[in-house]
Amino acid sequence: MMNNNALIAVGVIIAIAIGIIAVFMASGDPDGLESSALVVSGQKDLTGLSPEDGDAETVGTGSYEYTSPMPDYSLGEEMGSTGGIIAIIIGIIITLLVVMGALYAIRFSKGSRS
Amino acid sequence: MHIPDAFIPLPQAAIYWIIAIIFLGLAIKWARSELNEDKIPLIAVLAAGIFALQSFNLPVSMGTSGHLVGGALAAIVLGSPFAAVFILTLVLIIQGFIFGDGGITTMGANILNMGVIGGFVGYYSFQAIIRIIKNTYLSAAVAAWLACFIPALACAVEMAIAGTFPLVPGLVAMGLYHAIIGVIEGIVTAVVIYLLAMARPDLIDSDTGVVTT
């Protein structure tokens, strides 16, 4: 049986491997929701291919805009797939640390209460 | 399935946020009572893995791609739908704020769909199915398919309420695409549970029927 540290190490390595494969292999087609948006706005047939220049957000009604530091899991066009790999590794590490931090914080608060 | 900001008007987005916060509160309560030192690494690693899987858009034909959600996986392995709410909420916050995947105003709706609905559908359908077919991996795969498909329909209904999609075409498109994405979700969920059962059977919820050695 694997100990906790090995579980984290193996888990993170697998996650990073998936992330790196995703940078090169991920489909450029719009996801299920965006694709549905193209269908209902008449830019795409239900079972047809997606248009190259389709804009899923034309169906939108909201007005709020937020610009994230690493949009679309990339560091911008000029960084290419290297930027994608860096972004995904940063994301995986942040997720691991944030979740661990949150869990230890919850545990600590439990300890101090009882 | 990550809803961008533009797709839901603010007053409705606020309602989904309120629902999401209530469930997040319950999820924190779950973590406070169920958590032990040994589970922390597993939950953190599951979250990191779910983050990675969600970044991987797989082609599902018909000009569409899809990624896994992971709600059923988290709920089944950790034995509570609130585990899915907890993990998916944190993953969605990171995706939204740092990577622009899913909106900020619509984050509540995304937490509701993927974390709450995905987690509850995944957990309770798994509990029901395993009683009938007695096979952990097949039950997990079917539950994961449902936990991808049902949230997609919920999302289509929310889009209809928002006035973004017409109801029936929205349901058909979201249902069709996520029925296919769900097949991949089912297979990956079963494989991950199998791998975890090999590595650390002691950490997996006993209701899964994975024998602790």
Is the per-residue pLDDT at B149 higher than 90? yes
| Percent of all residues in chain A with a pLDDT value above 90, rounded to a whole number | 38
Among A2-11, B17-26, B186-195, which is the least confidently predicted range?
A: A2-11
Interface of B with A in 55-94 (CB under 8 A): 55-60, 62-67, 87, 90-91, 93-94
Instruction: Decide if A72 and B101 are in contact by the 8 Å CB cutoff.
Output: yes
Q: Which residues of B touch A49 (CB under 8 A)?
A: 62-63
Determine the pLDDT at residue B175.
94
The complex's ipTM? 0.91
pLDDT tens-digit series, residues B39-73: 899 999 999 999 999 988 888 889 999 888 999 99
pLDDT range class, residue B209, cuts 50, 70, 90 = confident
Determine the pLDDT at residue A61.
65
Exposure on the CB side of residue B183, measured as CA atoms within 13 A: 9
Beta carbons of A111 and A105 less than 8 angstroms apart: no
Is the per-residue pLDDT at B98 higher than 70? yes
Chain B residue nearest residue A111, CA to CA: B32
| Helices and strands (H, E) in chain B, number of each type | 8, 2
| Percent of all residues in chain B with a pLDDT value above 90, rounded to a whole number | 81
Helices A32-40 and B136-162: angle between axes, nearest 10 degrees: 40
Q: Which residues of A touch B179 (CB under 8 A)?
A: none
Pairs of CB atoms within 8 A across A/B: 246
Q: What 3-state DSSP class applies to A61?
A: coil
Q: Which residues of A touch B28 (CB under 8 A)?
A: 106
- Token duo for residue B189: 């969920």
pLDDT range class, residue B93, cuts 50, 70, 90 = very high
Determine the pLDDT at residue A114.
44
pLDDT tens-digit series, residues A26-46: 888 888 899 999 998 888 888
Residue ranges of the domains in chain B?
5-208
Determine the pLDDT at residue A73.
86
pLDDT tens-digit series, residues B7-45: 999 999 999 999 999 999 999 999 998 888 888 999 999
Is the per-residue pLDDT at A112 higher than 60? no
Angle formed at CA B59 by CA A57 and CA B141, multiple of 5 degrees: 110
Stronger pLDDT, A1 or B199, i.e. the higher one: B199
Interface of B with A in 112-131 (CB under 8 A): none
Burial of B165 (0-12, 13-18, 19+ CB in 10 A): buried
Determine the pLDDT at residue A49.
86
Determine the pLDDT at residue A62.
63
pLDDT range class, residue A64, cuts 50, 70, 90 = confident
Report d(CA B111, CA A86) in Å as an integer. Answer: 26
Instruction: Decide if B87 and A99 are in contact by the 8 Å CB cutoff.
Output: yes
CA A98 to chain centre: 15
Report d(CA B139, CA B46) in Å as an integer. Answer: 19
B59 has which bridge partners?
Answer: B65
Task: Please provide the average confidence, as pLDDT, over all residues in chain B.
Answer: 93
Domain B5-208 has CATH 2.102.10.10: no
Exposure on the CB side of residue B43, measured as CA atoms within 13 A: 31
Chain B residue nearest residue A105, CA to CA: B32
Determine the pLDDT at residue B213.
47
The secondary structure of chain B in percent helix, strand, coil, rounded to multiples of 5, reads 75, 0, 20
Determine the pLDDT at residue B110.
97
Chain A residue nearest residue B62, CA to CA: A47
